[in-house]
Amino acid sequence: MDEQTDETAPRAPWWLRPQAGLVLVVLLVLLDRWSGGGLIVPLAILVSAIAFVVLALAAFVPRFRARWFR
């Protein structure tokens, strides 16, 4: 069989991996704590909007899909 191993499988860019999302959430929570609160909801909405646009581009525009998901 010609199966791909983890070493040869195509990998997503670092900013699309689950670990990057976890780091982003931790940074947002720390920023909210340091700012005194009230900042997490607007930042979460902004990050969600950016993620939605990126995923929509990757899903519907072949050029972006080929670039980000090789």
Please enumerate, as own/partner, the contacts of 57-62 that have beta carbons within 8 Å and a separation of 24 or more: none
> How far is 50 from 15, CA to CA, in rounded Å?
12
Q: Write down the domain spans for the chain.
A: 36-70
Query: Please, which pLDDT band fits residue 68 given cuts at 50, 70 and 90?
Result: low
| Cβ pair 67, 12 in contact under 8 A | no
> How far is 56 from 58, CA to CA, in rounded Å?
5
10-54: per-residue pLDDT in tens? Answer: 676 776 676 777 787 788 788 888 888 787 788 788 888 888 888
pLDDT at 69 (0 to 100): 64
The DSSP result for 19-48, as a single string, is: HHHHHHHHHHHHHHHHHTSS-HHHHHHHHH
Global confidence as pTM: 0.49
